[in-house]
Structure 1
Amino acid sequence: MDKASATNTLSDVQGNLGSHAVLRWLTLSVLLLGVTFWASWSVIVVLLAKSNANLTPSQLMSLVAIAGASGALSRLLGTLVVNQLGRWMPAVIATIMLLVSIDSFVQFSDTNITYPVLALLAALSGIGCTMFAPAFDLTRQYKGSLNLPLSMSVVIGMTIFSLFLAQLAVPLLATWQPDGMESSLVLQRSSGNFFARVDAGEPILLNSFSCVWAVLFTFTAIVSVGAALFVPKKQSLPKVTIRKLLTQNGHVWYCSILYNMTFGSFIGFAMALPLLLEFVFGYSTLILVWMGPFVALLARPFGRWLAGIFGGALVTQISLLLMMVFGAVAGRYMYFAQHGPTEIYFEPFFISMLGLIFTSALGNGSVVVTMRKVFPRTYTHRVLIWAGTIAMLGAVYLPLRFAWALKSQSTDTVYIDFIVFYVIGLLLNGFIYLRRHGQFYNP
């Protein structure tokens, strides 16, 4: 090969790598923005509860469940359309989310927003979760591919970071008072954000968050369209169908159950906890709730590191045991708070909930290590998409269960459900992955 040909080939390769790098970052950007928009409902309902919106506790908790169901269904939908949309998927989803955020801005600016409208907005909020499928596809390594594989842990961790970002940004933007923006929603109880406390009587601008995200979606949509036009079409890639895995490999089901117990617990409690604290304790908890996703961000890589040393199944077993302990303690203090002076039980309850979230994220990191050793890399990303979709049901079941329990003032009984669930997981993980003569002993 002459020097000119070698230079041209190198230039083509660099250009191809550069264009795919742009598409990679756009995929992750739309995922981050979309999941944050979805997770914002964990805080929006708290601000509605503090306002003059006149919504019942069960209605507000059901809005969290509707948003959770939207995220779960959209994540599943993403696995069905990712091959059809290909490199156009970031542009399509960013454009749809732009329209959703504009609609949210218009509706939250209305002087008489109703529960059916809020339910529709919550149902549309999860569309951005469809981006999990293309994001996980970035983690695959193909022969002859120019793409450098992305760590699966980064994609999973982005969900946790999105919750952290939402629970920081929404209170800040909703209590910010820019000129020219008005709202009929007014705080009837004091609230706040990470930086300041906001007194009762101040307006709540839920449309400000939608406005900021509309601007961000506009930018990503424009750039995504340009990237889709210039990025070369991907080569034909081998398909791994989850249906084949589900019928031929029982470990897909075992790992999905463990993934649901760990990540599903985190996502469910992180979405429901802000509103639960508001109803049971009545504190300005928006200053504190971001701590849940924050400790999860720290715990998950720590769990992965421990699993690399001691084995994924062993760390998962210890995590499930600790989740049972923290769940029992949280349920105990919740019972006391409902039958006594709530203020003295807030701190121990909140600390036990942080412990439950920390250990669930710790266990999730170790479950992923187990999955990597049980399945070949070609299959792992597909199994993670399936397991992650199942885990999103935690954001549906937990709010619905708390909504039911709030009616009877028996929210402590919810923790009994989860302790039983964790006992099942403890037995399942111990029998399948910790038996000395098992197929995947302490992987």
Structure 2
Amino acid sequence: MTGTTTAPRRGGRWIERWEPEDETFWRETGEPVARRNLLYSVLSEHIGFSIWSLWSVMVLFMGPQYGIDPAGKFFLIGTATFVGALVRVPYTFAVARFGGRNWTVVSALLLLAPTTAALVVMEPGTSYGTFLAVAALTGVGGGNFASSMTNINAFFPLRKKGWALGLNAGGGNIGVPVVQLVALLVIGTAGAGHPRLLLWTYLPLIVLAAALALVRMDNLGPVRNDGGAVREAARDAHTWIMAFLYIGTFGSFIGYSFAFGLVLQTQFGRTPLQAASLTFIGPLLGSLVRPVGGALADRYGGARITLATFAAMAAATGVVLLASVRASLPVFLVGFVALFALSGLGNGSTYKMIPGIFAAKALARGLDGEAAAAHGRRLSGASMGLIGAVGALGGLAINLVFRSAFLESGSGTAAFATFLGFYAVCCAVTWAVYLRRPAVAQAPVTGGQGERKAQLTAV
């Protein structure tokens, strides 16, 4: 992803030389540019997350007059999750095809479609199929994460990626609690019969995010569409191992974010206002601590932080399971909010692991210096779309498990037992692959140096 031989492009803010691993370049030129692009990337991704999670709050406005039962509402938010997961793959590769700045503008403007559609249909008497179609449209907001992370990954050196990717993703994730807070404000002031007030609020914010990206962000010329990188990343077992672990972290965060308010209403009998006054707390904490997870991973290693996170998530799920059985709302809230915070830490640590893995594999092939860094960025950027898409499907799985549990028993207890077992498996995989006996790859190195070993302990 580096070099100075690419031809300049016309008609946009293109940077043709980008070498973040060169400390002089980074200090004198790279860092201020990277930080500026990070700032406006966060803003656009933030709005994208708000729109993607729109139906997690729209269902709070949908009283009995809408004629949709809890299972139908879980399916609505599951539809948004599913489409958001699917579009992450093409969104990842759009950065290389169109440029990070250019695609940020386009992806922001695409958010106008689901927001406007919801404005039109959000009233009693609208068919369930129409609601499903509009919920599916909001999936474009989920795609913003993948393109934003791929773009920011290219801007920063490896030693800064945990912090940068954590901040980028955390600032985007905060879009979930923010839309929930805006919904709380609307319900608390105008009542649950005015969902359109929430939607009108976001239309100018979408336009603002697109305009700021247009005038303040840059495209990186050295980032080129590379189908070979995609195929190579897809063949690498670590891409799919990390995708599985990301189901446990981000899948939990987005799945719980979408379902929390509905669980409070359905299982604990909270009113829309009561539910809205609680739902934002967990996603807010999970978003705020994501950069902390990345920073801890930078310092102590992503695998160690990830393993500790999954162990703690299993313990918190045990608390939630007990609270569900005993119908204790205070204990339930403590355990569930802890799950959000822990999933945020894990989001930061797992995304730090991805570039670390591919950087270590580049060293194992005998590459060094900027060549190794460029190879690592190339494959980690390609893998992020796949990992992000599979991880987001975990959010769909959570909502489907909740839907099944409530259909069968009217309670989420069986769902929480399922999640507990899954976190135990995530602990085992993290320990076995990245900590028990770190994988060692060997490659011959020219120049009489014998063989160089690169360990995945770098993650």
SS in 2 for 1:237: coil
Number of residue pairs aligned between Structure 1 and Structure 2 = 391
Match of 1:209 among 198, 220, 224: 198
Q: After superposition, what is the alpha-carbon deviation per residue over 1:179-198, rounded to whole angstroms, capped at 9, x for unaligned?
A: xxxxxxxxxxxxxxxxxxxx
Q: Which amino acid aligns with 2:301?
A: G
CA distance, structure 1, for counterparts of residue 422 and residue 148 of structure 2: 30
Match of 2:167 among 149, 154, 160: 154
After TM superposition, the score normalised by the length of structure 2 is: 0.76
Q: Report deviation, 1:292.
A: 0.5
Contact 2:248 2:426 in 1 (8 A): yes
Match of 2:230 among 236, 242, 265: 242
Distance 1:135 1:346, change over 3 A: same
Distance 1:76 1:173, change over 3 A: farther
CA distance, structure 1, for counterparts of residue 247 and residue 302 of structure 2: 16
Bigger shift: residues 19-28 or 118-127: 19-28
Corresponding residue for 2:45?
31
Q: How does 1:283-432 map to 2 (within 5 A)?
A: 283=270, 284-337=274-327, 345-376=328-359, 377-378=376-377, 379-409=379-409, 410-432=411-433
Corresponding residue for 1:122?
135
Contact 2:91 2:146 in 1 (8 A): yes
Contact 1:26 1:90 in 2 (8 A): no
Percent identity over paired residues: 23
Contact 1:175 1:204 in 2 (8 A): no
Q: Which amino acid aligns with 1:269?
A: Y
Match of 2:259 among 264, 272, 296: 272
Corresponding residue for 1:131?
144
Match of 1:104 among 83, 97, 118: 118
Q: Report deviation, 1:353.
A: 1.0
Distance 1:442 1:349, change over 3 A: farther
Contact 2:286 2:344 in 1 (8 A): yes
Contact 2:108 2:209 in 1 (8 A): yes
Contact 1:74 1:128 in 2 (8 A): no
Contact 1:138 1:149 in 2 (8 A): no
Q: After superposition, what is the alpha-carbon deviation per residue over 1:259-304, rounded to whole angstroms, capped at 9, x for unaligned?
A: 2211211211121111011100012121111110122134333333
Q: After superposition, what is the alpha-carbon deviation per residue over 1:136-176, rounded to whole angstroms, capped at 9, x for unaligned?
A: 24324479xxxx99922222213321112111112213444
Q: After superposition, what is the alpha-carbon deviation per residue over 1:348-384, rounded to whole angstroms, capped at 9, x for unaligned?
A: 0111111222222222322233334222241333333
Q: Which runs of 5+ in 2 are unaligned?
A: 1-13, 16-27, 360-375, 441-455
Corresponding residue for 1:4?
none
Contact 1:303 1:315 in 2 (8 A): yes
CA distance, structure 2, for counterparts of residue 220 and residue 309 of structure 1: 33
Contact 2:48 2:172 in 1 (8 A): no
Distance 1:397 1:437, change over 3 A: closer
Distance 1:219 1:82, change over 3 A: same
Q: Which amino acid aligns with 2:81?
A: G
Contact 1:139 1:149 in 2 (8 A): no
Q: Report deviation, 1:317.
A: 1.8
Bigger shift: residues 283-292 or 155-164: 155-164
Q: Report deviation, 1:391.
A: 1.1
SS in 1 for 2:193: coil
CA distance, structure 2, for counterparts of residue 411 and residue 232 of structure 1: 46
Distance 1:321 1:100, change over 3 A: closer
CA distance, structure 2, for counterparts of residue 406 and residue 111 of structure 1: 24
SS in 2 for 1:205: coil
Contact 1:435 1:441 in 2 (8 A): no
CA distance, structure 1, for counterparts of residue 287 and residue 317 of structure 2: 20
Distance 1:287 1:426, change over 3 A: same
Distance 1:432 1:351, change over 3 A: same
SS in 1 for 2:140: helix
Q: Report deviation, 1:17.
A: 11
Contact 2:79 2:396 in 1 (8 A): yes
Q: Which amino acid aligns with 1:369?
A: K
Q: After superposition, what is the alpha-carbon deviation per residue over 1:308-346, rounded to whole angstroms, capped at 9, x for unaligned?
A: 444322222222112112112212221232xxxxxxx00
CA distance, structure 2, for counterparts of residue 114 and residue 64 of structure 1: 16
Q: How does 1:63-102 map to 2 (within 5 A)?
A: 63-86=76-99, 87-102=101-116
CA distance, structure 2, for counterparts of residue 308 and residue 93 of structure 1: 30
Q: Report deviation, 1:392.
A: 0.6
Q: After superposition, what is the alpha-carbon deviation per residue over 1:389-440, rounded to whole angstroms, capped at 9, x for unaligned?
A: 2111122111111111111114211122222212221221111111246433
Contact 1:140 1:149 in 2 (8 A): no
Match of 1:255 among 227, 242, 260: 242
CA distance, structure 2, for counterparts of residue 150 and residue 359 of structure 1: 17
Corresponding residue for 1:190?
none
Contact 2:230 2:382 in 1 (8 A): yes
Match of 1:172 among 185, 196, 212: 185
Distance 1:350 1:23, change over 3 A: closer
Contact 1:27 1:134 in 2 (8 A): no
Contact 1:62 1:399 in 2 (8 A): yes
CA distance, structure 2, for counterparts of residue 437 and residue 360 of structure 1: 24
Corresponding residue for 1:196?
none
Distance 1:175 1:142, change over 3 A: closer
Q: Which amino acid aligns with 2:246?
A: Y
Bigger shift: residues 94-103 or 51-60: 94-103
Q: Which amino acid aligns with 2:234?
A: L
Q: Report deviation, 1:251.
A: 1.6
Q: Report deviation, 1:65.
A: 0.3
Q: Which amino acid aligns with 2:195?
A: L
SS in 1 for 2:68: coil
CA distance, structure 1, for counterparts of residue 354 and residue 36 of structure 2: 30
Contact 2:43 2:171 in 1 (8 A): no
After TM superposition, the score normalised by the length of structure 1 is: 0.78
